[in-house]
């Protein structure tokens, strides 16, 4: 942007016969012109973070009778962070979140990769199937949660299908069983977000050079060998991006899960997002919530940095 500004000013100065503006002067002018926007963006991103850090070291809540700017009078000497380390419910919620992530992300990746490989070639009705495949991703997560809430009812379609297949009545209480409820939530997540993984991986697959694949074919490589030795190495960066996006988003799963189970039965499906929501709206201990949210932010930031380093490494190393 500064270079463009310098060129414009240079042309204008030539028109009026004035001294041409140097590149450095144009850069300084560009910086001054964009400074208000930069300050605004910095404020929007930095102020909430600083406020969260400030609240996290206090016992402040809306019930304290103090404005948040006076939260310093409720300073607790980092007690929220020591309580967090000893909070068994927090660690249980974190464990359930990790289980959902460990199951859903690989399943979505493998299904998405298989579908991307299939759709990389032309076949009759490809556009129609392509549109249908992407539809789950377009559904609002809360609506998807309600859909699967109805599907997994005792008298719902899932049990009806199982009854037809087994020839005997099936009345499984999916959402009332601690183990089955979490499985139902994971099925819903895989159904909705596999299309996103498919879309990202398909974009990477289409970008693989055709000449290298044709050369490998002429040299006698079978489809599996071409896929392992050429396609996957060329898709390293795209794969890392897709996995990083879904790991971070899966860590924040809330809408679908809360509509389906509300974190129950009991706390059997209570992930970290649901736990934070309950602490925020029911217990109103916002200082402790801020500490939890900050800890989660640090964890997700580490994941993002790790993913970016892997991306850079994948681009530097020739495939």
What span, in angstroms and rounded, lies between the C-alpha atoms of 124 and 127? 8
Give the pLDDT of residue 126.
81
Say how many Å lie between the first and final Cα of the chain, rounded: 34
Give the pLDDT of residue 55.
86
Give the pLDDT of residue 183.
93
Task: Give burial (CB, 10 Å; 0-12/13-18/19+) of 242.
Answer: buried
Closest CA to 55 of 277, 279, 287, 294: 287
Task: Please name each of the domains of the chain with its CATH number.
Answer: 2-48 (no CATH), 79-316 (1.10.3720.10)
> What pLDDT, in 10s, does the model give residues 79-105?
888 888 888 999 999 999 999 999 999
Cβ–Cβ contacts within 10 Å for residue 174, how many? 23
Ranges of residues in the chain whose predicted pLDDT is under 50:
1-2, 8-9, 12-18, 319
Give the pLDDT of residue 318.
55
Task: Give burial (CB, 10 Å; 0-12/13-18/19+) of 71.
Answer: buried
1, 34 Cβ separation under 8 angstroms: yes
Give the pLDDT of residue 69.
77
188, 182 Cβ separation under 8 angstroms: no
Give the pLDDT of residue 198.
93
What span, in angstroms and rounded, lies between the C-alpha atoms of 210 and 220? 16
How far is residue 102 CA from its own chain's centroid? 14
Radius of gyration of the chain (CA): 26
């Amino acid at each position: 942007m500064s270079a463009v500004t310098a060129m414009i000013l240079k042309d204008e100065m030539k028109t009026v016969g004035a001294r041409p503006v140097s590149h450095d002067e144009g850069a300084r002018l560009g910086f001054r012109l964009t400074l208000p926007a930069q300050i605004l963006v910095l404020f929007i991103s930095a102020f909430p973070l600083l406020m969260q850090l400030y609240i996290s070291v206090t016992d402040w809540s809306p019930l304290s009778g103090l404005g948040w700017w006076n939260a310093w009078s409720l300073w607790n000497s980092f007690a929220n962070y020591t309580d967090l380390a000893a909070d068994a419910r927090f660690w249980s919620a974190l464990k359930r979140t990790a289980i959902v992530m460990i199951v859903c992300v690989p399943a979505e990746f493998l299904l998405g990769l298989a579908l991307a490989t299939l759709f990389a070639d032309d076949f009759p009705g490809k556009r129609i199937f392509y549109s249908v495949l992407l539809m789950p991703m377009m559904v609002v997560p809360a609506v998807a949660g309600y859909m699967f809430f109805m599907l997994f009812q005792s008298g719902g379609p899932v049990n009806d299908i199982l009854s037809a297949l087994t020839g005997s009545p099936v009345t499984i209480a999916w959402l009332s069983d601690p183990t089955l409820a979490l499985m139902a939530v994971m099925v819903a997540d895989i159904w909705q977000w596999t299309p996103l993984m498919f879309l990202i991986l398909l974009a990477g697959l289409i970008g693989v050079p055709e000449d290298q694949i044709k050369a490998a074919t002429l040299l006698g490589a079978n489809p599996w060998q071409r896929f392992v030795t050429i396609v996957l190495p060329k898709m390293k960066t795209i794969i890392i991006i897709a996995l990083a996006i879904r790991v971070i988003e899966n860590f924040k799963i809330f809408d679908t899960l809360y509509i389906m189970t509300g974190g129950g039965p009991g706390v059997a499906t209570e992930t970290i997002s649901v736990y934070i929501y309950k602490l925020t709206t029911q217990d109103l201990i916002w200082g402790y919530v801020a500490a939890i949210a900050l800890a989660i932010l640090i964890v997700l930031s580490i994941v993002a940095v790790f993913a970016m380093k892997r991306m850079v490494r994948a681009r530097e190393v020739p495939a």
